[in-house]
């Protein structure tokens, strides 16, 4: 038998300040390592990613008959572009790991029921965010083609690499966040901040907002891409409304039982 004395367990999950700092360092180290490894992989494949991002300019030259190219206007801009692509790739690809590390650090402060909600929200949010980023990746070429089509005849489209990459990343991440918004609505409902009936009543405004967003994100001539982007977003909104309504009914039944027990 070992002479080591087992460390006593804290049934309430409380930790001292020193233990919190050690735990935070451990979680940050794991999250940082995951992002770093994925970022290195992203740096290696940055040229392939950049080639796909710049493909719309080839389409402009072919379809509009205008010269279109990306320029590097600073000595370090090419290296900076690779670094930004690699880091963004690392953050997106490693998101399941660093989000889990964040959740694992918060868990001790949550009750068992709240932990279940946190796991559920995390399990749903990550795939939705990645799906949204994927959708943004596929509609990005259409947006570039549309916006550059307003250029005057016989003009040349010259874009700086920094501006072009910044525009692409903001758009892709924005659509990814848009796919996660229904989960935020459900979280607000579970926190009793927003009722399911309110979410359901706002369906007209939600559909209008989604339609306007997808219309801006896709050219008018490409109706198929607009519907491909809009249909899942509308579906996710109604799914969030349905979950919120069911949760409201569950809460009402529980409160009714508690009220009946109190009256007795």
Give the bridge partners for 68, in sequence order: 157
The whole-angstrom separation of Cα 36 and Cα 123 is 23
Question: Is 249's pLDDT higher than 50?
Answer: yes
In tens, the pLDDT along 1-59 reads: 445 444 444 444 556 667 778 888 888 999 999 999 999 999 999 999 999 888 888 77
Q: Which two tokens stand for residue 93?
A: 């690809």
pLDDT at site 261: 72
Name the pLDDT band for 263 (thresholds 50, 70, 90).
Answer: low
Give the bridge partners for 69, in sequence order: 158
Give the bridge partners for 71, in sequence order: 160
Q: Are the beta carbons of 71 and 159 closer than 8 angstroms?
A: yes
The whole-angstrom separation of Cα 57 and Cα 156 is 11
Give the highest mean pLDDT range of 20-24, 58-62, 80-84, 231-235.
80-84
Angle, helices 77-93 vs 95-106, to 10°: value is 60
Name the pLDDT band for 218 (thresholds 50, 70, 90).
Answer: low
- Ordered by start, the domain boundaries in the chain are 18-263
Percentage of the chain beyond pLDDT 90 is 13
Length of the chain equals: 264
Distance of CA 34 to the CA centre of its chain: 18
**Taking the alpha carbons of 63, 167, 157, 78 in that order, is the dihedral positive or negative?**
negative
Backbone φ, ψ for residue 160 (5° rounding): -80, 145
The whole-angstrom separation of Cα 97 and Cα 37 is 12
**DSSP element (H, E) containing 157:** strand 157-160
In terms of C-beta distances under 8 Å and separation of at least 24 residues, what long-range contacts does 147-151 make, across chains too? Answer: 148/56, 148/60, 148/64, 148/68, 149/60, 149/64, 149/219, 151/64, 151/66
Q: Please count the other Cβ atoms lying within 10 Å of the Cβ belonging to residue 130.
A: 16
In tens, the pLDDT along 147-194 reads: 777 777 777 888 889 888 988 888 888 788 788 888 888 877 876 778
**Alpha helix stretches (DSSP H) within the chain:** 17-44, 46-53, 55-63, 77-93, 95-106, 112-148, 161-190, 196-201, 203-217, 223-263
The whole-angstrom separation of Cα 2 and Cα 17 is 30
Q: Across residues 231-257, what is the average pLDDT?
A: 86
């Amino acid at each position: 038998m070992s002479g080591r004395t087992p460390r006593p367990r804290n049934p309430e999950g409380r930790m001292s300040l020193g233990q919190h700092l050690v735990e935070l360092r451990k979680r940050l180290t794991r999250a940082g390592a995951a992002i770093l490894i994925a970022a290195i992989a992203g740096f290696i494949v940055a040229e392939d990613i950049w080639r796909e991002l710049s493909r719309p300019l080839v389409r402009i030259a072919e379809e509009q008959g205008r010269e279109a190219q990306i320029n590097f206007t600073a000595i370090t801009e090419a290296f900076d572009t690779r670094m930004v692509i690699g880091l963004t790739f690392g953050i997106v690809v490693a998101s399941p790991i660093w989000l889990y590390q964040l959740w694992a650090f918060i868990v001790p402060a949550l009750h068992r029921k709240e932990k279940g909600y946190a796991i559920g929200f995390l399990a749903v949010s990550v795939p939705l965010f990645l799906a949204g980023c994927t959708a943004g990746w596929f509609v990005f070429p259409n947006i570039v083609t549309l916006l550059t089509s307003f250029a005057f005849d016989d003009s040349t489209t010259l874009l700086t690499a920094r501006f072009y990459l910044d525009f692409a990343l903001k758009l892709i991440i924005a659509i990814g966040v848009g796919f996660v918004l229904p989960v935020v609505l459900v979280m607000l409902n579970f926190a009793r901040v927003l009722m399911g009936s309110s979410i359901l009543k706002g369906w007209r405004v939600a559909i209008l907002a989604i339609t306007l967003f997808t219309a801006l994100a896709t050219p008018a001539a490409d109706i198929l891409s607009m519907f491909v982007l809009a249909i899942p977003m509308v579906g996710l909104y109604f799914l969030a409304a349905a979950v919120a309504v069911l949760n409201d009914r569950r809460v009402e039944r529980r409160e009714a039982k508690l009220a009946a027990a109190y009256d007795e």
